Structure 1
Amino acid sequence: MSGHSKWKNIAGKKGKADAQRGKIFTKIGREIIVAAKSGGPQPEDNPRLRDAISKAKSANMPNDNIERAIKKATGELANVDYLEIVYEGYGPAGIAVIVETLTDNKNRSAGSVRNAFTKGFGNMGTPGCVSFMFQEKGQIIIEKEDKDEDELMMLALDSGAEDFESEDEVFIVTTSPEDFGAVREALEGAGIQFLEASVTKIPDVMTEIDEEAAKKFQKMLNLLDEDEDVQEVYHNAEFPEGWDE
């Protein structure tokens, strides 16, 4: 991943989240509903729900929204059943793309995602065609501010983190998916606040693209971002230096 700035990608996503907070809350709400339905409404007994609630709090989602999503999962409020569907394929210049969706209409979801790939000069692939190029990891992003780097690093590593990096104005803590919850809880217990905390997919190798491919791929990303069924988009594109997403 030489030359690739993890924080640049994360900061870009965060900026979009700030600008589209209502849409982000809706998507996280769906995650909470699915997590609570699959593992129960008590966070202490449901690691997936704990992680979803942590993600909600990192996005400054109000507690009322979180509680409402859990009530929908338990049937206290009217709810919709969501299917978890993952699509894989390629963007321009051979970019590997994974799209995770939560949808109540798989035909609508498939059509919308396929349209985004087509209009972005890419093409949908078969399940597994690019997922082998990514590793699932827990990732916790912490603003540096006045934090002691050595102290924070030791806390993260002692609680089970695999890696601790300093990049630009943030620290990036990487964990296995299994240890993500324990590391997050240890840092929370020490009073550390996060810019982002989630289990994500990190590419093994980045694909450098030129400005022409970047423009085409950005169109795909924008269409996927506008799709309410799309929860997350992972890719291995390394945009040109100075590219303004």
Structure 2
Amino acid sequence: MRQGKTSVMQYLYQKAFGRYWARAARAAEVTQLSTLKGQRLRARKLRQHLNTLISVSESRLALPLIGSNSFPKPHGTDWSWRPALWRQPLAKFGLASAQNKEMLGDEVTLFHDCHVSELTLRQLRNTREADLAPFGLRMDVFRFDGSFLSLVIDFPFESVDGLKRNHLIRMNTIVELEKPLEIFARLNIKHGPNTEQIVRELPLTEDEIMVEFDLAYSKLNEKRVEKMWIDLIFEGPEMNQVVLRDVTFSRRPRAEF
């Protein structure tokens, strides 16, 4: 019998078992003490198992569902995506003394020019009630002797399939900082031999951290689009911890007036 399935016999047994303890509770005031002593011992053992089940189930059911791609999307969205690092457990969930161009998963790459790396990356399980993403990314930066630090997120092919200059690309994120710093998002779109770039600073002081990239102001050649990726650039990251609780992207055509 597969785990999680309840047979008819099991159901009837559990129902009778529940009735037994209901009767015992109602009759506890008049039950003989010798019988009551035995019931109390069995009830305590049963309560220990029930408390464990309740505690574990409440914890697990409160966590965002692994694999979830659910998040709010603007009206008219024709493509949306949460990268795998924030969606599912990685085989390799952390990097210590992370080197330049080292990857965490198949979509996220770290770039820096430190002579001695004192950077760590680690995937963590989100547990807060407000979290929609199953996982987050924590980056710890200790001594930093480089001139740049960025995380590159490679988009899937679907992101550029049918991409037009009338599209808006939206990025939403949840960021926790140990101390203030600046984070910039640079959207890159390769079309033929050229790469279009649009830079936005993340509004870290706002409740909703969201930026949009309007392709109408670009010189995008719609017929030669090959791929798209984004750089998250961290300014002054030394002695800081950055947690990206969620990172999501969506695409929609701009409204016609």
TM bucket (normalised to shorter chain) is under 0.3
Which has more radius of gyration?
Answer: 2
TM-score (norm: length of structure 2):
0.24
The structure whose residues are more often strand, as a share, is: 2
TM-score (norm: length of structure 1):
0.25
